[in-house]
Amino acid sequence: METWFLIILVLLIISLCAFVYMVRVVYRQQLQPLSYDVYLEHINTVQLGPYYVSLSNKLNEKFDQVDEQGGPVMLGADGRMHYAPIKHAHKALTNYEAYFNTGEQKYCEIFLETVDSIIAHGKDGVANSWIYEHYCAHYAGQQVPWLHAMAQGQIIALLCRAYVVTNDDRFLTFAKRAVIPFTRDVKDGGVRSVDPVRGIFYEEYAFHEDNKQHHTLNGMMSALMGVFDLWKTTQEQAYKKIFDDGITTIRNNLMSYDYPFCSSYDLRFEHGQSPVMQPRYNSVHVAHLKIMAVFTNDPFFNLVSEKWSQKFDSRFNRWCYFLFYLDWKCHDLCNDFSNIGIIEMLRVYRIRLMKRILNRKISHNAVRSNKGV
C-alpha cells in the first residue's frame, strides 16, 4: 500500500512540475518583449526611403517551399498550399532596404527580380484592378480566398519603389491598379468596408460574409503606408483621399482597441467573439503609430504609441494578460468543439499545427543559412 502511495505521490509531483514548467514556458513565449525599428526621416522628403518598418532581419531568409514560378507558398485555410504574397513582398522590401542603405547593386537586382515575380503572381480583379488573394490557415474553415488590404498596400509600396529606381511606367501602372480595391466595397470585390458608425475601413481580412469584418488595426495601417507611397509618388489627390479617409477612421476609433493590459488586434469582439490581444501585435501597433504620427503631423498618434509601449512594463499587466490568454485559449477550444464538432475541430487544429511546423521549419532553415551551415 505504501509503495502505491509513493508511486502516486511521485506521479503527482512530476505532473505538477510539468504543469508549472509548461505555464512558465508559455508565459515567457507570450510575453517576450519585441521592438521594431522604423524609418521616419524620409517621410517628409521627396525621396522614397526604405519601407517604414525595418525588415532587415529577414534579409537572408530562404523560402522553404516555392511554387512553379519561384514564389513562396503557405498552408491555406482549405488545407492546400497557396502563394504567400506578404512573404514575397517582404523579400522585395528587405532587399530594397539593403540597397538603399548600402548602395550595393546586388540588392537592387534581387529587389527588381522579386518585384517582377510578384507581378507575375497577381491577377485581374474588378474594374481593371490588380489583386493578390489570400488563404491564411489561421482562419481555417473560412470561405477562401479573400482580398487582403495589407498585402495590396505592401505590394503598392514595393511597386512605387521599383518605379523610382527604374523610371519604368509599368511598375506605376500596376501600383495604380493595385489600389483600385481600396475604392470598392468588399461585396463588390474590394477591401473597403463602410461602417455606418465607425467609418471607412480597409480590411486585412476582406471576408465575403456579412458582419464578418474585423477591422484589423495593423493591417489597416500597413495598407495606408502603401497608399501614402502612391500619393507621394504621383501627387494625385484621389490617392490622398483614400489615405485621409483611412487615417480619419483610425484616429476616431483608435481607443476602441485600447485595453488595460494590451491593445486589441482587431474589433471582432463587436461580433460577440473574444478579443485577440498579443504582445507582438501591441509592439507592431506602437511602431505603426509612430509612422502615422509623422505621416499626419498629429501628436495624438505619438501619445497613444507611447501609452501602448508601456503596457507590459507592469508585472500586474503581464499577469492579467497571461490569465486572459489562458482563458481565451480555453474559450477558443470549447467554441470550436461546440460549433464544428470533434471531427472538424481536429481537422482545423491539424491545419494550424501543420502551419506552425512549417513556419518553425522555415525559421530553423533561415537560422542555419545565416550561420552558413
Task: Identify whether 4 is part of a domain.
Answer: no
Cα–Cα nearest to 323, from 261, 255, 270: 261
Tens digits of residue pLDDT in 220-258: 999 999 999 999 999 999 999 999 999 999 999 999 999
Longest dimension (CA), the chain: 85
Query: Which residue did the predictor score with more confidence, 11 or 47?
Result: 47
Per 3-state DSSP, the chain is made up of helix, strand and coil in percentages (nearest 5) of 65, 10, 30
Q: How many domains does the chain have?
A: 1
Task: Identify whether 1 is part of a domain.
Answer: no
Q: Please report, to the nearest 10 degrees, the dihedral formed by the alpha carbons of residues 232, 238, 239, 241 taken in order.
A: 110
Cα–Cα nearest to 70, from 86, 90, 52, 84: 84
CA distances from 280 to 63, 126, 265 (A): 23, 35, 10
Pair 295, 228: CB distance under 8 Å: yes
Q: Is the pLDDT of residue 306 over 90?
A: yes
φ/ψ region of 196 (left if φ > 0, alpha if ψ in -120 to 50, else beta) reads alpha
The pTM (predicted TM-score) of the whole model is: 0.83
Chain centroid to Cα 344, Å, comes to 26
Q: Output the domain CATH number for residue 48.
A: 1.50.10
Q: Where are the beta strands (DSSP E) in the chain?
A: 73-75, 81-83, 123-124, 130-131, 133-134, 146-147, 192-195, 199-202
Cell matching residue 312: 507590459
Cell matching residue 94: 528587405
State how far the Cα of 226 lies from the Cα of 219, in Å rounded to an integer. Answer: 11
Q: How confident is the model at residue 367 (pLDDT cuts 50, 70, 90)?
A: very low
State how far the Cα of 364 lies from the Cα of 64, in Å rounded to an integer. Answer: 10
The pLDDT value recorded for residue 332 is 64
Task: Identify whether 17 is part of a domain.
Answer: no
Task: Identify whether 341 is part of a domain.
Answer: yes
192 lies in which domain range? Answer: 40-370
The pLDDT value recorded for residue 60 is 85
> By three-state DSSP, how is residue 132 classified?
coil
Tens digits of residue pLDDT in 171-230: 999 999 999 999 999 989 999 999 888 999 999 988 876 657 889 999 999 999 999 999
**Cis-peptide, bond into residue 145, ω within 30° of zero:** yes
The pLDDT value recorded for residue 275 is 81
Residue 84 dihedral angles phi and psi, to the nearest 5°:
-115, 90
Task: Identify whether 327 is part of a domain.
Answer: yes
Task: Identify whether 200 is part of a domain.
Answer: yes
In which residue are the cell numbers 509599368 written?
A: 170
Task: Identify whether 33 is part of a domain.
Answer: no
The pLDDT value recorded for residue 271 is 77
Pair 321, 329: CB distance under 8 Å: no
The alpha carbon dihedral of 234, 237, 239, 245 has a sign of positive
Task: Identify whether 10 is part of a domain.
Answer: no
The pLDDT value recorded for residue 361 is 46
The pLDDT value recorded for residue 274 is 75
Within a 10 A sphere around the Cβ of 87, how many other Cβ atoms?
17
Task: Name the range with the highest mean pLDDT among 4-13, 103-112, 129-138.
Answer: 103-112
